[in-house]
Amino acid sequence: MKREINETTRREFIRLLGAGGCAAALLPTGLSAHEGHEPGAVHPNPTEAFPQIKAGEETILILLYPGFTAIDAIGPEYVFSAMIGATVKFVAKTTAPVRTESGFEVTPAFSFKTCPKKPTLLLIPGATDGLLHALADAETLDFIRDVGGAAKMAGSVCTGSLLLGAAGLLKGYNATSHWQTAELLPLVGAKPVDQRVVFDRNRVTGAGVTAGLDLAFQLVRYFRDDFYAKGLQLLAEYEPQPLFAGGGDHKKADPRVVLLLNEMHRPFVDKTGGIIRSVVEKRAV
Amino acid sequence: MKREINETTRREFIRLLGAGGCAAALLPTGLSAHEGHEPGAVHPNPTEAFPQIKAGEETILILLYPGFTAIDAIGPEYVFSAMIGATVKFVAKTTAPVRTESGFEVTPAFSFKTCPKKPTLLLIPGATDGLLHALADAETLDFIRDVGGAAKMAGSVCTGSLLLGAAGLLKGYNATSHWQTAELLPLVGAKPVDQRVVFDRNRVTGAGVTAGLDLAFQLVRYFRDDFYAKGLQLLAEYEPQPLFAGGGDHKKADPRVVLLLNEMHRPFVDKTGGIIRSVVEKRAV
């Protein structure tokens, strides 16, 4: 339901306002100037019946790198793209299609060279094998350091926090990661916090995979306000019904499942730790 | 964390089994033949400490069409791709990249011509403007009718149920859709059920956008079993924390938000209804 919001909403608002529809009360009085509307189209006396829809013009960049976990990037992208006035784009080393973890390709809008250098947000998705390659890639870490460092906010989903950290952006910050890699955060100077979404000053990190959605909704509230975030939660029908209560939380999940996943991913976690150690030493993070 | 599961898991299992790791008990005794492993690699006496990981070799196709809502397709794709042994691919009219609702491009693996004709599952994502075009496209509806009709299960996320229905696959079925378009389901002979995920014989439909994740986890349980679904829920750290309790449910959400979204999308819903009426008449759905 995104495009409807993105492309039609302004015109639709104007139409409703012109028709004296109830949405009239939703527009802040100053919106017409801010959004470039004809002043006459904004209802002169918004009632108090509705809170205002907060406008914005955020520039949000989401990094793509070979092997990234698609949902880590595309879940938040869905949510951000529904922020009227925001620019939400994928950025990668070049504008060639980038292969995801499961093998399909996504096209970035910007290359490292052509992308805006001071975005509102730079978001780094996670990966598994792809993470190991990205961690070892100086150009990618330099990009994250420079653009993420200049951004109003730098953030990550899942194991993306290890990239953010290896680039030097989590030193002295509270942060989170996939529950299986949170133990590696101290290697980059971050303090692991066992929360689904961790805000600390100009950094925001999400836990594993699906935490990207919660992170995105929290950022919408941060960039806009409660009312906007409520609108997107209902638009996205975000009323989750996980099959197993507590099943997504390693502290509450079936211990047999925790043990299995830990056995399966131990080699990955160890390998990742090794690479981070060498990167931190080489780059003096 | 998907690729780790998809590409490494079999080898990793073998390694753990060889090492007498606790994962040994997780493999069904018959797995080696089924999965083509060397029989000797499977632990001869799996203990009873762990339930078995259920094997499978599902073929899952997810339709891409211009303007599709990316998360509707890519959320479930993430979940399905973590089913060891399953083949999960995007299919579109041609193998050219397909533009999503928000404007980036995703590459399908199969065209209508080259894709498997009797998949385990054909899943149809939703869209807004893109839905109107897809509904009016006979070739797309024919494909859904033929391949979805031959599939073990045909399903949809969000407004994708209207495509499934316009193709004739929901006649006499209980189904759901985005809360704003569920009222259109009777036009295609379906009975709207106000649930997040609706299973009815060989059809499964999800509510709006993020319901695709719940649908996917339920399908993992359906194709495999509880233990497998638990593993994926924890791998994906699916322990959602929506900002507003009930905020994703139109019956419980802030009524000002419900009213706003209804005003905004009424033109879309009416237009969609008009197209469905003409399609149903023309195709005698």
Of B230, B243, B268, the CB nearest to A229: B243
Q: Which two tokens stand for residue A160?
A: 């993306």
- Residue B1 falls inside a structural domain: no
Q: Which of these, A166, A163, A165, A159, lies nearest to A180 by C-alpha position?
A: A159
Determine the 3-state secondary structure of A203 from DSSP: strand
Is B52 an 8 Å CB contact of chain A? no
The string of DSSP codes covering A39-96 is GGGS-SS--SSSPPPPP---EEEEE--TTB-HHHHHHHHHHHHTSTT-EEEEEESSSS
- Residue A19 falls inside a structural domain: yes
Is B179 an 8 Å CB contact of chain A? yes
pLDDT of residue B136: 97
pLDDT digits (tens, 9 = 90+) for A104-155: 999 999 999 999 999 999 999 999 999 999 999 999 999 999 999 999 999 9
pLDDT of residue B25: 33
Same domain, B64 and B27: no
Catalytic residue of the set B61, B63, B86, B158: B158
- Residue B105 falls inside a structural domain: yes
- What gap in Å lies between CA B162 and CA B259, rounded to an integer? 23
Which residues have C-beta within 8 Å of that of residue B255, sequence separation ≥ 6? none
Same domain, A29 and A83: no
Same domain, B75 and B37: no
Choose the mutation target among B79, B84, B235 for the interface with A, i.e. most A CBs under 10 Å: B235
Q: For chain B of 285 residues, list the mean pLDDT of each consecutive stretch of 10.
A: 42 36 33 30 32 83 98 98 94 98 97 98 97 98 98 98 98 98 98 98 98 98 95 97 98 94 92 97 93
Same domain, A44 and A114: no
- Residue B112 falls inside a structural domain: yes
- Residue A198 falls inside a structural domain: yes
Is A158 an 8 Å CB contact of chain B? yes
Of A3, A70, A237, the CB nearest to B211: A237
- What gap in Å lies between CA B131 and CA B121, rounded to an integer? 20
Q: Total domain count for chain B?
A: 2
Give Cα B117 to chain centroid, integer Å. Answer: 17
Same domain, B191 and B117: yes
pLDDT of residue B262: 92
Same domain, B40 and B65: no
Same domain, A216 and A274: yes
Same domain, B222 and B170: yes
DSSP A175: E
- Residue B2 falls inside a structural domain: no
- Residue B103 falls inside a structural domain: yes
Contact B239 A249 (CB under 8 A): yes
- Residue listed under structure tokens 């404007």: B103
Same domain, B183 and B114: yes
pLDDT of residue A45: 29
Please, which residues 218-237 of chain B have a Cβ atom closer than 8 Å to chain A? 218, 221, 226-227, 229-231, 233-237
- Residue B253 falls inside a structural domain: no
**What is chain B's alpha carbon radius of gyration, rounded to the nearest angstrom?**
20
Residue B126 phi, psi (nearest 5)? -95, 180
For the domain that residue A99 is a member of, what is the CATH number? 3.40.50.880
Determine the 3-state secondary structure of B60 from DSSP: strand
Same domain, A22 and A68: no
Predicted complex ipTM exceeds 0.90: no
Cβ B234 vs Cβ A250: under 8 Å: yes
Q: Which two tokens stand for residue A81?
A: 């793209």
Range of the domain at B126: 59-238+259-284
Closest residue in chain B to residue A238, using alpha carbons only? B248
Same domain, B14 and B111: no
Residues of A in contact with B26 (CB under 8 A): 260
Q: For chain A of 285 residues, list the mean pLDDT of each consecutive stretch of 10.
A: 42 37 33 30 32 83 98 98 94 98 97 98 97 98 98 98 98 98 98 98 98 98 95 97 98 94 92 97 93
Same domain, B38 and B88: no
Its pTM stands at 0.85
Residue B197 phi, psi (nearest 5)? -135, 130
